[in-house]
Amino acid sequence: MTHENARATPATVDIVIGTDDAQLLMTALGELPFKRVFELIGALNRQANAVAPGAPVVCALDASGFALIVEALGHLPYHRVHGLIDDLKAQLHAARHAFGSAAAESAGRRPGARVQ
């Protein structure tokens, strides 16, 4: 990968998770071995503690954290997780679109784009 390609790839993506979905996500992560998820759970808890109780949480995730979330949700029954998966997919798609538009227009970050 060239240095230019490294700058074109976002390091993290912000996803917004509501209270109920956050509980479901923690349940899913709890099904995986602790040594694989403890750092991600800690990071999510720190971010959740930074907002008012009951408020949606904006979680900054790198590719490995996002992949771990998808893996964990895959272990739960589809009827429990499909809404959250659809929401995460829509947010990721919107972030990719915003990042692509921002990269095409300028090298700086655009307001409202949730990709860092």
Summarised one tens digit per residue, pLDDT across range 4-39 is 444 555 688 889 999 899 999 999 999 999 999 999
Q: Does 111 have pLDDT greater than 50? A: no
**Is residue 27 within 8 Å of 44, Cβ to Cβ?**
no
C-alpha to C-alpha distance for 69 and 42, rounded to whole angstroms: 13
The predicted structure's pLDDT at residue 107: 47
Pick the more confident residue, 11 or 86.
Answer: 86
C-alpha to C-alpha distance for 54 and 108, rounded to whole angstroms: 33
The predicted structure's pLDDT at residue 104: 52
pTM of the model: 0.73
If you ran DSSP here, which 8-state letter would residue 9 be given? S
